[in-house]
Amino acid sequence: MPELALFPVPAPAGDERQLPRNIEAEAAFLGAILIDNRVVEDLPVALVPDHFFEPLHGRIFQQTMALIERNSIATPVTLKPFFENDEAMKAVGGVGYLAQLTGSGAGLIGARDFARQIFDLALLRELVGVGRTLVESALDTSESVDPQAQIEEAETALYRVAGGEAEMGSVKSFSAASLTALQAAERALNSGGHLSGITTGIGSMNAKIGGMHNSDLMILAGRPGMGKTSLATNIAYNAAERFRRDEEDGIPPEKNMGAKVAFFSLEMSADQLATRVLAEQSGVSGEALRMGKISKEQFQQLSRAAQTLQTLPLFIDDTPGLTIAGLRTRARRLQRRHGIGFIVVDYLQLLQGSPKSGDNRVQEISEISRGLKTLAKELNLPVMALSQLSRQVESREDKRPQLSDLRESGSIEQDADMVLFVFREDYYVAAREPKRPIEGDDVKIHAQHEEWAAEMERVFGLAEIIVAKSRHGSTGKVRLHFEAKTTKFSDLADESQAYADYE
C-alpha cells in the first residue's frame, strides 16, 4: 500500500481511541474520488457514510455521492459551498482541507484496497460493539436472566455484522429508498405490467397482488380441507422453478422473478411434502402414489418429474416443535449458505414462543407473528406463514372467512402486510349431499338430489383466494381452478373471470 500523508483530522476521545480505524486510508480514498469520480463505479464493496470512522469524512463521501448521482462533477470546488459552515471542517483549517485530500495521487493506485479496508474496519468496530453489549448483558443479573434470549439477540447482531449491515445500514436516504421503488416499478413493467415482486406462478394472483414483496409477512389462512398447504407448495415450487429457469436463461439476480425457497414444514415430514410436490408436477394422484396403485406409464411420469426436481432450489426443514428463535436461526443459516429469497412456514400455530410467554397463548402468538415480520425485514424477503381459522366460520351461512376468523387474530392481523384466505365452496356443498335416491323413492327425494348435483356441478373445482388485507393494493378475490386429484391450483381457462375486486 503506498505511503500516505497524514491529514490533520481531530483525534477522537475516550475509549474510541482503541477502535479499529485508518483515517489516512479514508482521506486517500476520498482524494481518489475527487480526482476521478469514476472510481466509485468499480468498488469491491458498497460503502455508506457510516462506514467512515471520521464523521467529517462520512459527510464528504455522502455529499460527493449525491453530486455524482445527479450527474454532476464532484471536486473540491463543487463541494466547497456545502462545507463552508461545517464546524468540523473549520477545525481542520477550513474548506482548504478538500483540496488537501487531492494533494496526493496515491489514492488512485489503491482506491479499491482502501475501500475494502474502510469497509472491513467498520465491520470490526461493529463487532466490538456487539461483543461489549454481549458481555454487559451476560454480567447483568439485576433483572430476570434469560440466556436463550441473549444468545438469540447476539446471533441476530452477529448476522447483521456478517451481512455488512449492522446499525450503519438501518438508515436509508429518501433518494436510495425511491431508487429501490423505481427498480420495483421497472421490474413490474418488464414483466408485462403485473409483477413487481417474486412470482406466485399463478397469473391471476400475480395480477391481483403484484407478486410477493421483500420484507412482507403474508398470512395464508383457511379451514381444514381448503387446500392452504397445497397452495403454499404450489407457490413455493413455482417460485423456485422460475428462479432456476431465469438463472439458466442468464437473467441477472436483480431481475430474476423467482427465488430460492425455504419451506419449514412443522406438520408434514419432508418426504410427505416431496410426495405432494411430485403428485402436483407429474399429474399422478397423490393417493395412488402413496398406495403404489400406479401404471408403468405413470411411473415414467413420476421419474421425469423427480429428475426435474433434483436441481430445484427448494429446501425443506421438517424439524418438529421449532421455536420462533430456532426458525430464525435456521432461516439465517439457509440464506447465508444458499441465498434463499422466500420462506414458507406451515403453519404458524405449530411454532413455539419463548419460555417467558408462559401459558398465555395470545401473548405467545403475538411474539411469533412479530418474530416472523422481523425475520422478513431482517432478511429482506417475503415470508408466507400458513394459519388456522377459528371454528366460528362453520356457524355462519356464508362460509367465506373474515379477518376476525383468524385464531388469536389481533396480533396476526396487525403484523401481516397481506392476509389471504383460501375458500372452496365445493367442499361445503359436497358435505350437504342429501340421501341418494333409490328405486321406489318419491319424486321429492329425486328432485332434492338433482338440485344438489346441479349446484355441485356449478362450484366443482372452483377456489377463491380472498385478499382480506393488503398494504400494497386493494382487497378483493381471485378465482382459481383446483384439481383435487393432484392438489394443484391454476388459473381458470377464462382469464376474464380469473379475479374480481370487491366494491
- pLDDT tens for 247-256 read 888 888 878 8
Give mean pLDDT, residues 17-24: 82
- Please indicate, yes or no, if residue 118 is contained in any of the structural domains: yes
CA dist 43 and 110 (Å) reads 11
Cell representation of residue 54: 471520521
CA dist 15 and 97 (Å) reads 27
Nearest in space to 387 (alpha carbons), one of 332, 475, 468, 326: 468
Average pLDDT, the chain: 79
Res. 496: pLDDT tops 50: no
> Which pLDDT score, from 0 to 100, does residue 135 have?
77
Let me know whether 404 and 267 are in one domain.
yes
Cell representation of residue 270: 419432508
CB 262 within 8 A of CB 340: yes
CA dist 284 and 48 (Å) reads 53
| Residue partners of 100: CB distance under 8 A and separation at least 6 | 7, 93
> Which pLDDT score, from 0 to 100, does residue 145 have?
63
Let me know whether 268 and 382 are in one domain.
yes
CA angle 163, 197, 167 (to 5 degrees): 25
Q: Which residue has the cell 469497509?
A: 119
> Which pLDDT score, from 0 to 100, does residue 61 have?
93
Give mean pLDDT, residues 42-50: 82
CA dist 158 and 155 (Å) reads 5
Cell representation of residue 233: 407448495
Give mean pLDDT, residues 65-86: 89
Which range has the worst mean pLDDT, 191-205, 332-346, 383-397?
Answer: 191-205
What range defines the domain where residue 44 resides? 23-137
- Please indicate, yes or no, if residue 173 is contained in any of the structural domains: no
> Which pLDDT score, from 0 to 100, does residue 472 have?
79
- Please indicate, yes or no, if residue 40 is contained in any of the structural domains: yes
- Please indicate, yes or no, if residue 298 is contained in any of the structural domains: yes
User: In this prediction, what percent of the chain has a pLDDT beyond 70?
Assistant: 78
Res. 352: pLDDT tops 50: yes
Question: Which of 137, 154, 169 is the last residue in one of the domains?
Answer: 137
Res. 69: pLDDT tops 80: no
> Which pLDDT score, from 0 to 100, does residue 487 have?
83
Nearest in space to 241 (alpha carbons), one of 228, 213, 254, 260: 260
**The pairing of beta strand 342-346 with beta strand 314-317:** unpaired
Name the more confident of 406 and 168.
406
- Please indicate, yes or no, if residue 382 is contained in any of the structural domains: yes
Name the more confident of 321 and 421.
421
Let me know whether 240 and 120 are in one domain.
no
Let me know whether 277 and 387 are in one domain.
yes
16 — pLDDT class (breaks 50, 70, 90): very low
CB 371 within 8 A of CB 384: no
CB 274 within 8 A of CB 316: yes
Max mean pLDDT among 54-63, 101-110, 182-191 falls in: 54-63
Let me know whether 204 and 116 are in one domain.
no
58 — pLDDT class (breaks 50, 70, 90): very high
Give mean pLDDT, residues 367-371: 87
| Residue partners of 418: CB distance under 8 A and separation at least 6 | 209, 216, 217, 218, 219, 467, 469, 470, 471, 472
Nearest in space to 227 (alpha carbons), one of 470, 421, 475: 421
Question: Which of 419, 453, 478 is the last residue in one of the domains?
Answer: 419
Let me know whether 344 and 232 are in one domain.
yes
Residue 84 half-sphere exposure toward CB, CA atoms < 13 A: 4
Res. 261: pLDDT tops 90: yes
The CATH number of the domain holding residue 241 is 3.40.50.300
Let me know whether 270 and 411 are in one domain.
yes
> Which pLDDT score, from 0 to 100, does residue 424 have?
87
170 — pLDDT class (breaks 50, 70, 90): very low
Let me know whether 122 and 204 are in one domain.
no
CA dist 434 and 25 (Å) reads 83
> Which pLDDT score, from 0 to 100, does residue 225 have?
83
> Which pLDDT score, from 0 to 100, does residue 242 have?
92
CA angle 197, 204, 494 (to 5 degrees): 160
The CATH number of the domain holding residue 102 is 1.10.860.10
Let me know whether 239 and 107 are in one domain.
no
Cell representation of residue 25: 486510508
Res. 134: pLDDT tops 80: no
420 — pLDDT class (breaks 50, 70, 90): very high
CA dist 323 and 433 (Å) reads 42
> Which pLDDT score, from 0 to 100, does residue 186 have?
56
pTM exceeds cut of 0.75? no
CB 381 within 8 A of CB 278: no
- Per-residue model confidence as pLDDT tens digits over 376-385: 988 889 999 9
**The pairing of beta strand 342-346 with beta strand 383-387:** parallel
Question: Which of 89, 120, 137 is the last residue in one of the domains?
Answer: 137
CB 268 within 8 A of CB 341: no
What is each CA distance from 367 to 41, 225, 363, 377, in whole angstroms? Answer: 43, 27, 6, 15
> Which pLDDT score, from 0 to 100, does residue 183 have?
57
**The pairing of beta strand 462-470 with beta strand 476-483:** antiparallel
Give mean pLDDT, residues 420-427: 88
- Per-residue model confidence as pLDDT tens digits over 302-323: 777 777 778 889 898 888 888 8
Let me know whether 101 and 233 are in one domain.
no
> Which pLDDT score, from 0 to 100, does residue 500 have?
41
> Which pLDDT score, from 0 to 100, does residue 220 have?
94
| Number of domains into which the chain is organized | 2
- Please indicate, yes or no, if residue 465 is contained in any of the structural domains: no
**The pairing of beta strand 462-470 with beta strand 488-491:** unpaired
276 — pLDDT class (breaks 50, 70, 90): confident
Let me know whether 233 and 308 are in one domain.
yes
Give mean pLDDT, residues 466-488: 86
- Please indicate, yes or no, if residue 112 is contained in any of the structural domains: yes
- Please indicate, yes or no, if residue 322 is contained in any of the structural domains: yes
> Which pLDDT score, from 0 to 100, does residue 118 have?
92
CA dist 205 and 190 (Å) reads 18
Let me know whether 242 and 371 are in one domain.
yes
Give mean pLDDT, residues 432-461: 75
Which range has the worst mean pLDDT, 9-18, 44-53, 124-133, 228-237?
Answer: 9-18
DSSP 473: S
What is each CA distance from 387 to 262, 317, 403, 468, 483, in whole angstroms? Answer: 17, 18, 12, 14, 22
Facing residues of 499 across strands? 478
CA dist 176 and 182 (Å) reads 10
